[in-house]
Each structure stands twice: as structure tokens, then as C-alpha cells.
Structure 1
Amino acid sequence: MNYDWSVIPRNMDVFIDGALKTLEISILAILIALPIGIIFGLGRVSTNKIIRLIATIYVEVIRGVPLLVLLMWIYFVLGQYFKLGSYWGAITALAIFAGAFIAEIVRAGIQGVPKGQMEAARSLGMSHTKAMTHIILPQAFRRVLPPLASQFIMLIKDSSLVSVIAATDLTLNAKNLVATSFRSIEVWTFVALIYFIMTFSLSLIIRYFEKRLMKSDA
């Protein structure tokens, strides 16, 4: 089989534009997913049964639905009512999907703090909300920072699915390029390399901050 790797440098602007769009969609999605995850994560450990039930339903339902199905549903169903379009439909779906996993990360972080911390705070006269804000959450934040960063990496890889609803990203640009150049092996190999570079670079950054965090705790 003959390979023509010159298709890569000839279309470098296509790959760069796609990679930037992928990062843009992923960053916006994670920025929306964070407050969603924090709110529902707190709801998961709430003393209010109704709030805890609502948070549990959201987490379990979203985690039990494939991202591809969620993308389709939001784009073709919600998108018809809210005029989301492919761009915001993709961001919304990714944010809702990632939010459910972030909620579980937040829940685990909070429950990982020894119960004695809350009991000690309450014995000092602090309300549950104040104790949670000033005592529990600062400690939980240190525990959840690494898995939150890893979730962002997962989101970048998951974002490759947004091309199915015609949202412009690296994968969609690659599909279009393959359709015109007929160089699928060359194009998809380079796309895989770009995804690896993005995720591996973020992994190195995460490891750096983890080491800094461990040093500050020492």
C-alpha cells in the first residue's frame, strides 16, 4: 500500500483549527460541568432526603446513559426547543455528562474527610452549612483536585463524539479531510497523535501540581 504523508503538512491548518476547537469545546464544557458537579455532589451528601434523591437520580441516570445517546437526545430533542445548534448542543451534552462524574468525585471527596471533623465543628457551635463551607470543603478540595483534572482529560477524548452532531472539532475536520483526500490511514494516525499530545501534556501538568500539593501537605 502506498502512503502519502504529505497530506499532513498540506492540511496542517485543518488539524490546528480542529485541535483548537476541541480544546475550546472541552474547556467550556468543563467550566459548566464544575458547578453542576459541585451542586449535585453536595446534594448527594445532603441531610435533606428530597435533595439527596434528586441528586442521586441525576447522577445514576446520566452515568447510565452512553454519551453518544445523550448527545443525540440533547441535539435532536432539547435542541429543537432551545435552538442550541450543534456547537452549544455538544457543550451542553458534555457538561451534563461530565457533571454527573464530577458529582461523584465531589461526594467521594467530602465523605473521605473524617466524620470527626464535622462533629468537632458542630460541637463548637458551627452550623452544618458553615462547617461544610469552612472545614469540610477545603479539605475535600485537596482530595478531589487530581481526579477532577483527570476528568478533564477524559472529557477531551469524549469530545471526539461531538462530530456525530456536526459540531466542528478535530474529529469532524479529519472526517472531512479523509472524504476529500482518501488518505484515511495518514489522517487518522496524525489525529491520534494530536489527541495523545494534548492528553499527555495535560497529564504532565496534573502530575506537577499533584507533587506541589503533596509537598504543601507535608
Structure 2
Amino acid sequence: MRKLIKRLHWLDYVIVAVIVGFAAVIVLRIGGALNYDWRWEKIPNYMFRYRESEDRWVANLLVQGLVATIRISIYASILALILGVILGIARCSVNLTIRMLARTYLEFLRNVPPVVVIFIFFFFLSEQLIQAMNMERWAREIARSDSNAVWTFLFGDMRRFPALISGIIVLALFESAFVGEIVRAGIQSVEKGQREAARSIGMSHFQELRYIVLPQALRKVLPPLANQFISLVKDSSLVSLISVPDLTFKTVELVASTRLIFEAWLTAAGFYFVVCFGLSVLFRRLERR
């Protein structure tokens, strides 16, 4: 902490003072002009509540939404990475048809507003897929069974499993377009001479990708991929539009039932900041290694 203080410039103190002053003006305006009654003491009750029937503290609306957001972000990140790598490789394919199909998919998603994409994929793909697989009935049967502890740990309330899966699929399909372009740029950044050398020693196209191109490309694309996954956490709030019970959806419920408008949204913003900042620190350490 002392080393950090010594490195601070006088301009840093000015910036901090301006930010603090700006925040103070906003708080005073809300309390004065809007005649808003701050009730921060009620927020902890909506993070955790005491369940007398089980004699223990359990997660309430805000923490439930935070956990759901983390689940959605993790699963959507994994699926988006898999799809993005496939799309990135397809964008560099020697086959014109494969290359054009991948480019069409990427260009469409990157140039259409995310809200529109969310609704298109939800109603025309994920919702149809869930109905075709009869996933709602399967999830209800697991929810009623006594041995659902593992499923609950991985996916939360199994009665909301179809909505969770819809959110994961929709978010992954949207984010995979950006991951695909990042992977494509990483593959094309590898020098052609290395590919020619791989072919000269008899490597197949798959071996060239597996042993020469992808290891170098993935190392180069780690920083932009890290930024994209942090953006994915923030973009996960969009799935609340299709009734997925994430942090944003739970915050809307809390505001509607208690009118704790500023307290609830500031708390939700704090949760998003902690998650995204933690990921930023983690990825920064990975980049150094």
C-alpha cells in the first residue's frame, strides 16, 4: 500500500477528488431534488435470509441472481470458446463454401444489435430445441427426485433449468461470433513460412493446426479473449429479457416489490464490478505467465 501511495501523482489525487465530488453531488441530488429515502439497511436482507425451518442462512434474491449469472457466464464461455474456435478455423478454410458460411454467420451477428439477436435465437432456436428434447419434463422429474443435489449445485433450481439453458445457448451463439473473429486473426498472424515448413515435413492439415498454428495463435489471442469473456459477463444481463433469472432479472424483481431503486441497482452494479474486476486481475496474471 505504501509503494502504491508513493507512485501516485498529484493528478491522481485530483481525479479521485473529482470522482468523489461527483458521487456526492449525485447522492445529494437524489436525496434532495427527488426526495428519495435511502434504505440501505434493507439490502442485506435480500442477499441472505434466515430460514427458520432449516435453522440456517440461505441465499436470497440478489445472491441467487449473482450465482445464476456466474453459472451462465461459465457455461456460455466454454460453449462460445468451442464454437468460436470452430468458426475461426472455418474462416481460414481452403474450402470456399465453408469459409463463406462462417463469414456470413460472423458478419450477421457482429452487425445486428444484441437484443435483436437474443430474441431471434431464443424464439427460433433455443426454445424450439428445448421443446424438441422435452427438456421441461425431464427437469421437473429431477426437481421432484431426492437425489438432485449434484444437478442443483451445477444448475440451481431445476424447475428453471430450461430458462437457464436457453440463456446459455443464446449468449454463447452471440459471443461465439466475436470469439471466432479473434481466433481467425490469431491463426492468420502465424507466419506462412511455418505452415509451409510443416507441410514440407509431411504434416497433414490437421497436424499443422494442432501442433504448429493453434498453439501459437491461442497464445496471441489470450488478451483479446480475456476482454471478450469479461464482456460476456456484462452481456449476460441481456438474457434477463427472456426471463432467465440472472442478477439483472432478480434486481428487477426486487425493485418492483420493494421500490429500493437506487440501492438495488447500485448493489447489482457492485456485484458485476467485483466479478469483472476479479476476472481482469486473473487474466492479467495469466498473460504475464
2:200 matched residue in structure 1: 123
C-alpha distance after superposition, 1:8-38 (max 9, x if no partner): 1111132111111001011111111111111
- Please list the CA deviations of residues 139-190 of structure 1 after superposition, one character each: whole Å capped at 9, or x if unmatched: 1111112222221111110000111111000001100000111010111011
Could you tell me whether the CA contact under 8 Å between 1:29 and 1:91 is conserved in 2? yes
Q: Which moved more, 1:151-160 or 1:4-13?
A: 4-13
Unpaired stretches in structure 2, ≥5 consecutive residues: 1-35, 48-59, 132-161
Aligned partner of 1:40 in structure 2 is: 87
Q: Percent identity?
A: 46
Q: Which residue of 2 aligns with 1:20?
A: 67
Shift of the 143–3 alpha-carbon distance from structure 1 to 2, 3 Å rule, reads same
**Distance in 2 separating the partners of 1:209 and 1:103:** 21
Distance 1:132 1:48 in 2: 16
Correspondence 1:60-209 to 2 at 5 A: 60-83=107-130, 85-209=162-286
Amino acid at match of 1:6: E
What SS does the corresponding residue of 1:72 show, helix, strand or coil?
helix
Tell me, in whole angstroms, the C-alpha distance in 2 between the residues paired with 1:135 and 1:80.
Answer: 40
Distance 2:117 2:239 in 1: 11
80 and 91 in structure 1: CA distance in 2 versus 1, 3 angstrom threshold = closer
Greater alpha carbon shift after TM alignment, 160-169 vs 8-17: 8-17
Deviation at 1:80, TM superposition (A): 4.7
Higher relative contact order (CA 8 A, sep 6+): 1
Q: Identify if the C-alpha distance between structure 1 residues 168 and 110 changes in structure 2 by more than 3 Å, giving closer, same or farther.
A: same
Alignment match, 1:55: 102
Work out whether residues 94 and 159 of structure 1, in 8 Å CA contact, stay in contact via their aligned partners in 2: yes
Bigger drift between 196-205 and 64-73 goes to 64-73
Q: Which has the larger radius of gyration?
A: 2
Residue type at the aligned position of 1:3: W
Kept in 1, the 8 Å contact 2:84–2:183? The answer is yes
8 Å contact 1:71–1:89 — kept in the other structure? no
Alignment partner, residue 215 of structure 1:
none
CA distance in 1, matches of 2:67, 2:126: 24
- Cα distance, 1:119 vs structure 2: 1.4
In 2: Cα distance, 1:53 partner to 1:148 partner = 23
* Unaligned stretches of 5+ residues in structure 1: 213-218
Q: Does 1:3 align with 2:80?
A: no
Q: TM-score, normalised by structure 2?
A: 0.70
Structure 2 counterpart of 1:128, which letter? Answer: H
What is the CA–CA distance in structure 1 between the aligned matches of 2:240 and 2:127, rounded to whole Å? Answer: 18
Would the aligned equivalents of 2:127 and 2:166 in 1 still touch at CA under 8 Å?
Answer: no
Deviation at 1:73, TM superposition (A): 1.6
Using the alignment, how far apart are the partners of 1:73 and 1:44 within structure 2?
23
Query: Who is 2:17 aligned against?
Result: none
User: Could you report, residue by residue, the CA deviation over 1:63-120 in whole angstroms, capped at 9, with x for unpaired residues?
Assistant: 1222211221222233453236432221111010111111111101111111111112
* 3-state SS, counterpart of residue 193 of structure 1: helix
